[in-house]
């Protein structure tokens, strides 16, 4: 294998691995924010109900 190609392949493999990990992280962060939003919507509903009373 051409030496330069080995470097490129290795580099690409590392970059892909990094990206996969970053995607995993960001997905879990987004999931957490979505849960927070759901909770806050619930709080908002409760506040509205309290105001109507």
Partner 1 sequence: METQENETKIVYSNMVELTEEMKQMPIEKLADKGMHEKSIEVLTKIGIQTLGQLLATDTDFIHEATLRVPYEARYSSIRKVIMGMGLFFNDDHLRWENAGISDEIAMIPINNLDLSPHVKTTIAKNTCITYFGDLLTTDYEVILHMRNFGEGPLVELKNYIHSLGFSLPNEEITMREIKDSFKAKGIPMVGDTLELDTRTSALLYRNGIYTIDDLVKCGLDVYEIIGMGDVKRKKLATALQAKNIQLGAPVVLPTGTPVAIRPTEENINKIREENLSISKRIDNKEKLLSEYDKLVAERNNLILREQKLDEEIAARVALLSSQQNEEGSNYGRK
Q: Provide the binding-site residues for partner 1, judged by CB under 8 A.
A: 1-2, 5, 7-16, 18-20, 22-23, 26-27, 29-30, 33-34, 36-37, 40-41, 43-44, 47-48, 50-51
Name the minimum Å distance from CB 13 to partner 1: 7
DSSP annotation of 25 reads: H
Name the minimum Å distance from CB 49 to partner 1: 11
Beta-carbon-side half-sphere exposure of residue 45 (alpha carbons within 13 Å): 6
Q: What is the dihedral of CA 8, 13, 16, 17, to 10 degrees?
A: -150
Name the minimum Å distance from CB 40 to partner 1: 4
């Amino acid at each position: 294998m051409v030496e330069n190609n080995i470097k490129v392949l290795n580099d690409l493999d590392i970059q892909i691995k990094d990206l996969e990990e970053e995607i995993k992280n960001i997905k879990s962060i987004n999931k957490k924010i979505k849960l927070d939003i759901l909770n806050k919507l619930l709080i908002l509903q409760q506040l509205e109900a309290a105001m109507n009373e």
